[in-house]
Amino acid sequence: PEVMVKHNITAPLIVVSNRLPFVLHKNKDGSLSRKASAGGLVTAVAPVVIDCGGLWIGWSGIHTKEPLEHIPESDPDDKAPTAGLLSKQVSVYIPEQQFDDFYNGCCNGTFWPLFHSMPDRAVFKAHTWEAYCNVNKQFANSTLDALRKSIKELDEQEKYETCPVVWIHDYQLLVAATTVRQVVEEEKLRCKLAFFLHIPFPSWDIMRLFPWDDEILQGMLACDMVGFHIEDYCLNFIDCCSRRLGCRVDRNNMLVELAGRTVHIKALPIGIPFDRFVQLAETTPKFLKLAESEKIILGVDRLDYTKGLVHRILAFERLLEKYPEHVENVTLLQISVPSRTDVREYRQLKEEMDQLVGRINGRFSMPNWSPIRYIYGGVTQEQLAAFYRDSAVALVTPLRDGMNLVAKEYVACQIKDPGVLILSPFAGAGGMMHEALVVNPYEIDKAAETIHRALHMPLDEREVRMKQLRHREQQMDVNHWMSSFLATVGAVNNDNDDDPLS
Ligand code: GDG
């Protein structure tokens, strides 16, 4: 694949994430086929992994009785830039029972709500935490095997000059680095360890509710560098390290010291493959059949309680009550992608949404118009780009969100007659996309007023706002994020001979 990210990485980059960058399907005859993931992260990171002779370590996405020895070949028609990753992937084996406690239990039943500052939804159980630690150890062992192998393949000179980078992702793997660090030190393996968290990092007040919070912090601090989307999350993390572990910290330079080692903390706001979305918006035909004056308000989310879907639908109902001029002229198109359906909270939310949408459609529908078009399911990326392009307003109103890529993708697709982005300040993106209309999703009345304002915003104001929003996202796209990460890791000196904190 074409390497979009300029980098001076000469050593292998080993990426570790819960899922490998493809989706596996079981065919009718029992055989497996795979399709590369098209997410922005994968398309930015995978070519670098291939280019520098690295590896990607993760779970294959399906349960097998035995460890999966051979990952199936990619579909020959698969044109994704990551389809050629085949020989560069290592599948981690997780027995099915342990997976349930690890993934549905600890990851999505505990850490997801806790890190999104919704502790009432979090369940703390010793056995799911134990499964989490075990699974993290399995990931660490696969990573160590890959690291030893990568080092062996280097020639004598390279062994002294290069330093492989291990990059661990997200809340499923918060303590994997503990084991990696321990073994790396025992065996004196040269490498740098880095971590990136894709969700928010909560304040100390929330974090301390988790009974084993010290082990989480130590796991993250086992790395040389820890990245978050925004500075607020960095400062929350530093605060936890100082108050819970008593670490020496430097908030100005974002450094934390643990047991004589200095850990660099950095805000690295993720971006999207901007040019790809522009291209999709330019080339995809219209899917929506709209009446002359009809306007679409768009919502796109995984069906997740953090995304503020219920509040959003209520705000739309209030809009129709308060400003009846929009009845028959405005439609809310809500795409809700099924997510984590094995977790009770998610099944309950699905029920709640079904009822709410049904009630509002029953209340306002006319023979030739319904207020809400609700899709419970996914659409193709082409369709998504066309929906973004053809919507007058995007409602991105999470109650809490690490960054939120939908807001960024919407602005990328505003290639002509730009629409208006309405954004929650509680998304990481809210801190940077200043030209959006900002609304607190809990304020239903205010949200309705803001939608009304967006629907009436004159063209020149829409153009000024959108131009600035698009410029920023084009500059700070996913390739920029990847190269900032590589530059930051490259600059980290993990010999720790000097003491940057003194
Ligand atoms: C986590 C953090 C952070 C959605 N529906 C369809 C579809 N999508 C794609 C979007 C977008 C992605 O899914 C969703 O990304 P978000 O950022 O909005 O949300 P999370 O899934 O919660 O992601 C988040 C992110 O990690 C990255 O660090 O921003 O805060 O929670 O790219 O386009 N794609 C297709 N059909 C759909 O129906 N093809």
Specify the pTM.
0.95
Residue of the CA atom closest to atom 39 of ligand 1: 381
**How close is the Cα of 481 to the center of ligand 1, in Å?**
16
Taking only the tens of pLDDT, the chain with its 502 residues reads: 567 777 767 788 999 999 988 878 778 887 888 877 767 788 788 888 888 888 999 998 888 777 777 777 777 677 666 666 767 888 898 988 899 999 999 999 999 999 999 999 999 999 999 999 999 999 999 999 999 998 888 877 777 778 899 999 999 999 999 999 999 999 999 999 999 999 999 999 999 999 999 999 999 999 999 999 999 999 999 999 999 999 999 999 999 999 999 999 999 999 999 999 999 999 999 988 888 789 999 999 999 999 999 999 999 999 999 999 999 999 999 999 999 998 999 999 999 999 999 999 999 999 999 999 999 999 999 999 999 999 999 999 999 999 999 999 999 999 999 999 999 999 999 999 999 999 999 999 999 999 999 999 999 999 999 999 999 999 999 999 999 999 999 899 876 555 566 5
Instruction: Tell me if residue 38 falls in helix, strand or coil.
Output: coil
How would you label 180-216 residue by residue, b for 16+ Cβ within 10 Å and e otherwise?
A: bbeebeeeebbbbbbbbbbbbbbbbebbeebebbebb
Spot the catalytic one: 198, 213, 232, 239: 198
In DSSP terms, 337 is beta-bridged to 302
Distance CA 228, CA 199 (A): 8
End-to-end Cα, the chain, rounded Å: 45
**How close is the Cα of 106 to the center of ligand 1, in Å?**
21
Within 222-273, residue ranges assigned H as helices are 231-245
Among candidates 182, 231, 166, which has minimal Cα distance to 492?
A: 166
**Residue among 117, 118, 300 whose CB has most ligand 1 atoms within 8 A, to mutate:** 300
**Tokens 């308000």 belong to residue:** 297
Q: Are the C-beta atoms of 472 and 408 separated by less than 8 Å?
A: no
Distance CA 394, CA 387 (A): 10
